[in-house]
Amino acid sequence: MGGGGSWRAVVPVRAFAQGKTRLRRSGHDPAVTELARLLALRTIAVLESVPQISSVLVVTDETGESFAASTKTSVLREPRPAGLNTAVERGLLELGYGAGRAVADPVRILVLHADLPLVEPGEVAETLLAVEGLGADAFVADESGTGTTALAFFGGAFRAPGFGPGSALLHRLRGFASLALPPEHGMRRDLDTWEQVSTYLRSPQQPAVSELLASAEWSARARGTRVEASPARLALSSRS
């Protein structure tokens, strides 16, 4: 695969009880909280399985999870979170990549969203190879083509992350190359809305998504929380 173990990954993770606001039926929704946890852990596990990635840095204000599933992963806690881009910049700086870095210094850092329910290690590995082929910083647009799910830093002048609405255009304007991945690629399919859940449940990936939703419900119940409107039940009923 080339470049074995030469990449490092940064995964920003919002506190589980605060994330996935567009999926929540109420402020306190334990099944959605559990879904956020399972999505993050799955994404981290995928990155740990990619041969080119030597380490994974989780930047988070979540205090109830260690994230240390393997020796590849370390955690940078945020005592005062200030948004996604600040978390990403803190992670990059922790790895020695920032505005003050020498342009000649080599860098291979992948920043990946923590809510990709369908991404597989092989897809990440192929994407890193594509970035190496380009020899330039690059971004992965979400399925809609307007947002960003991943940034790959490959060297040259420092480019600041610009996650948020319209971030695909912003990253293009900042000099990131756009990686041409098909819409169904796992790195493009994040999970933020019920519309996305419904779409995934009607796709060939339906079994995997159904299992993830059901796991979130059962895990929330196992933790002793009352689940009135679980992602699994609501999403599956929306298919009819």
Q: Clarify whether residues 171 and 216 are in a common domain.
A: no
Q: Clarify whether residues 99 and 216 are in a common domain.
A: no
Domain assignment present for residue 184? The answer is: no
Q: Clarify whether residues 159 and 227 are in a common domain.
A: no
Supply the pLDDT for residue 152.
97
d(CA 107, CA 183): 28
Burial environment of residue 138 by CB neighbours within 10 A (0 to 12, 13 to 18, 19 or more)? buried
What tens-digit pLDDT sequence spans the chain (240 residues)?
Answer: 344 579 999 999 998 888 777 776 655 677 788 888 888 999 999 999 999 999 999 999 998 788 866 679 999 999 888 899 999 999 999 998 887 665 656 789 999 999 999 999 999 999 999 999 999 999 999 999 999 999 999 977 889 999 999 999 999 999 999 999 999 999 999 988 878 877 777 777 677 777 777 776 655 555 544 444 444 444 444 444
The boundaries of the domain holding residue 209 are 194-237
Supply the pLDDT for residue 230.
46
Q: Clarify whether residues 34 and 106 are in a common domain.
A: yes
pTM for the complete prediction?
A: 0.84
Domain assignment present for residue 189? The answer is: no
Sheet holding 7-13, edge to edge: 73-77, 53-60, 7-13, 109-112, 148-153, 138-141, 177-178
Contact 115/191 with Cβ under 8 angstroms? Answer: yes
Q: Clarify whether residues 168 and 230 are in a common domain.
A: no
Q: Clarify whether residues 66 and 106 are in a common domain.
A: yes
Domain assignment present for residue 17? The answer is: yes
Domain assignment present for residue 152? The answer is: yes
Q: Clarify whether residues 171 and 211 are in a common domain.
A: no
Domain count, the chain: 2
Q: Give the CATH number, domain containing residue 27.
A: 3.90.550.10
Supply the pLDDT for residue 240.
40
Q: Clarify whether residues 167 and 227 are in a common domain.
A: no
Q: Clarify whether residues 61 and 146 are in a common domain.
A: yes
Supply the pLDDT for residue 99.
73
Supply the pLDDT for residue 36.
86
